[in-house]
A and B are shown apart, each in its own frame.
Chain A
Amino acid sequence: MKGQIALGLLALLTLIGVTVAVTLGEQNRMTEFTRAYEARAIEAGATLFEDSCRPCHGPQGQGIEGVAPAINAADLFDGSRLAKVGYGGTLPDYVRGVIAAGRPVPSVGTTYPQRMPTWGAAYGGPLRDDQVDALTAFILNWQDRALGTGAPVPTGPTVGADITVALPDGDVARGKSLSEGVLGCASCHVLTAVGPKWPADAGEPGIGSRAETRFQVSGYSGQATSAEQYLFESVVMTNAYVVEGFQPNLMPQNYAERLSAQDMADLLAYMLSLR
Chain B
Amino acid sequence: MAIFRLHIPVLDEVKRKGLRTALNDKWVDVVTRVTAGLNPADVRGVLRDDPPGRPNPRLTPHAEGFWLHMKPTYYHRLVDGFYPSFRLGWLSTFFGVFEILTGIYLMIYYTPSPVVAYEDMLNLMSNVPFGQLMRDLHRLAAELMVIVVVLHMLRTFITGSYKKPRQFTWATGVILLFVTLVLSFSGYLLPWDQLSLWAVTIGASMVEAIPPEIVGRNVNLLVRGAPEFGANGLLRFYLLHVVALPLAGIVAFGVHYYKVIHHGHSLPPEGEKVGEDTAKRVPMDSRVYFMPEILTRELWYVAGLLAVLFVGAAYLYNAPALEPHANPLITPLHTTAPWYFLWLQGLLKIGDKVIWGLIIPGVATGLLLLLPYLEVGPSRRYGDRRIGLSLAALLVAAMAVLSYMGTPHYAVSTSPDQEAVAELLPQTHPGPLRSAPWDDLAYGSYQAAAWSAAPNATLQDLLQRYEEVLTNVQSAGRADVAGLMVIEDWQTDLKKVTLRVTWTNTADGTAGEFSQSVYLHRDGNYGQGA
Contact = CB atoms under 8 A, between A and B. Distances in A.
A81 interface: no
B493 A254 contact: yes
Given A18-B307, A22-B314, A33-B528, A46 B133 contact: no
A223 interface: no
Interface in A222-275: 253-254, 256-257
A19 B310 contact: yes
Contact of B310 (A15, A35, A47, A257): A15
Interface string A133-175: 0000010011111000011000000000000000000000000
B492 interface: yes
Interface string A17-28: 011011100100
Contacts of A50: 517
Nearest to B304: A11
Chain A: number of interface residues, binned into ranges: 35 or more
Contact of A44 (B131, B133, B311, B324): B324
Nearest to B490: A46
A105 interface: no
Contact of B521 (A12, A39, A144): A39
A5 interface: yes
A187 B197 CA distance: 47
Nearest to B517: A50
Given A26-B129, A42-B494, A145-B491, A33 B530 contact: yes
A138 B303 CA distance: 48
A150 B489 CA distance: 13
Contacts of A138: 491
B102 interface: no
A23 B133 CA distance: 10
Contacts of A47: 517-519
Contacts of A19: 310
Contacts of A12: 303, 307
A36 B524 contact: yes
Contacts of A256: 439
Interface majority SS (helix, strand, loop, mixed), chain A: helix
Given A1-B296, A19-B310, A130-B325, A32 B491 contact: no
Interface string B288-319: 00001100110110011011001100100000
Interface residues of B, number: 48
Given A1-B292, A18-B307, A46 B491 contact: yes
A39 B300 contact: no
Contacts of B439: 254, 256-257
B331 interface: no
B520 interface: yes
Contacts of A130: 118-119, 325
B384 to A, nearest CB: 37
Contacts of B524: 36, 39-40, 43
B527 to A, nearest CB: 10
A46 B494 contact: yes
Interface string B505-530: 00000000000011111111110101
A142 B530 CA distance: 27
A128 interface: yes
* Shortest Cβ-Cβ A-B pairs, 10 listed: A8-B300, A39-B523, A39-B521, A46-B519, A36-B525, A11-B303, A11-B307, A14-B307, A11-B304, A43-B519
17 contacts: A1-B293, A4-B296, A7-B303, A8-B304, A14-B310, A22-B310, A30-B128, A32-B525, A32-B528, A35-B523, A43-B518, A43-B519, A46-B494, A50-B517, A130-B119, A142-B491, A257-B439
Given A29-B132, A39-B524, 6 more contacts: A4-B296, A7-B304, A30-B126, A34-B126, A43-B494, A141-B493
